[in-house]
Structure 1
Amino acid sequence: MKQLHIKVLVGLFLAAGVLAWGGARLWDSFGTLVSVPMAAPIVLALIAAVLATMAFSFRSRLRAQRERRQGAKGVEPLFAARAVVFGQASALVAAPVAGLYGGVGAFLLTSGLELAPRRDQAIYAGLSVLAGAAVVIAAMFLERVCKLPEGEDNHDHPGASRA
């Protein structure tokens, strides 16, 4: 499994942001308000929380297994691999989604926030960007937790996946 690269995620974020900014300008030229759903930052924050919870759980279980604590539960290698794939997929989706909301938010900030609906939309967009960044950070942390040390394979180190 290939490791996530921050450059790819930043590129997706920027490309989506530029396209969204241009689309928001075009949309605004027709006289309608660009809309950011209130659920967007909530959903992204929930995904980030799930990824972070899995990462912290795996980290503590793997640490207990390494220290050979009595009754330590290991991590099933296939479950760890699936978790890493879920994290990577989440990050690859969250980066452009956060970019879209970032582009819309940038447009709203530059077009003026005198109207309460525009101000609310800008806040939702900003929170969505922060929540998207949290998804990316949690996914990269999960990937790091599940990564095997160099030179080991899955047979020598149960409970971890190669990332």
Structure 2
Amino acid sequence: MRPTRLRDLVVAFLAAGIVAHLLVSLAYGSLPSFPGPAGATLGVLGLAEAVAGQILKARVERRPGSRPVDPLSAARAVLVAKASALGGALVAGLWAGLLVYVLPRAGSVTAAASDTTAALVGLVCALVLVGGALWLERSCRTPDDPGDERGVRDE
């Protein structure tokens, strides 16, 4: 299984952002207001994945006091990490598309000001999810993993 490529995440982020911006610009007047903590759940999931990655890293490296990790558990963790990274990039793109639309209007439209806060919280929390997912995926690499060398590029 190949590591998640940053360019795939960037493409998903940009595509979702463009679609969200187009949809919001067409239907913003008929949309309900976005609650401020709407995207906070993604931040909690991202932190949980980062903590799980730290624990799993110790188990993969067989540090003293930690049990060896079951290969199937590591494979499941990588699957969750890859899905979370892509999902987080897509949702971050959606929040960014909303933010690009509402930020210039925040001074003149009251709803846009509150939606700006929601979009910022959502964007930051979605990026936390992407970071936690990438850390979890990286933590599952074995010390002798050939893709783990400094000089190897991920294509």
- TM class by shorter chain equals 0.7 to 0.9
Residues 31-74 of structure 1, C-alpha deviation per residue, up to 9 Å, x if partnerless?
A: 334643445322111210221111011123334x2x5x3x5311
Q: Partner amino acid for 1:56?
A: Q
Q: Partner amino acid for 2:93?
A: G
Structure 2 equivalent of residue 150 of structure 1: 145
Give the gaps of 5 or more residues in structure 2. Answer: 147-155
Answer yes or no: is the 8 Å Cα contact 1:87–1:139 preserved in 2. yes
The question of 1:81 aligning with 2:79 is answered no
Q: Distance in 2 between matches of 1:12 and 1:38?
A: 24
Query: Which TM-score applies when normalising by structure 1?
Result: 0.79
Aligned residues: 145
Q: Secondary structure at the match of 2:107?
A: coil
| Structure with greater Cα Rg | 1
Answer yes or no: is the 8 Å Cα contact 2:24–2:98 preserved in 1. yes
1:49 paired residue among 47, 50, 66: 47
Structure 2 equivalent of residue 13 of structure 1: 13
Per-residue deviation, 1:106: 0.8
Judged with a 3 Å threshold, the aligned counterparts in structure 2 of structure 1 residues 10 and 35 are, in CA distance, closer, same or farther, namely farther
Q: Distance in 1 between matches of 2:32 and 2:13?
A: 19
Q: Distance in 2 between matches of 1:72 and 1:91?
A: 27
What RMSD in Å do the two structures reach over aligned CA positions? 1.9
Answer yes or no: is the 8 Å Cα contact 1:90–1:136 preserved in 2. yes
Residues 86-117 of structure 1, C-alpha deviation per residue, up to 9 Å, x if partnerless?
A: 01111111111110111011100122333443
Give the gaps of 5 or more residues in structure 1. Answer: 152-163
Q: Partner amino acid for 1:132?
A: A
Judged with a 3 Å threshold, the aligned counterparts in structure 2 of structure 1 residues 11 and 96 are, in CA distance, closer, same or farther, namely same
Q: Distance in 2 between matches of 1:111 and 1:122?
A: 9
Q: Distance in 1 between matches of 2:43 and 2:74?
A: 21
1:7-156 correspondence runs (5 A): 7-28=7-28, 31-33=29-31, 35-63=33-61, 65=62, 67=63, 69=64, 71-148=65-142, 149-150=144-145
Per-residue deviation, 1:22: 1.2
Q: Secondary structure at the match of 2:135?
A: helix
Residues 114-163 of structure 1, C-alpha deviation per residue, up to 9 Å, x if partnerless?
A: 34432121111111111111111111111111112235xxxxxxxxxxxx
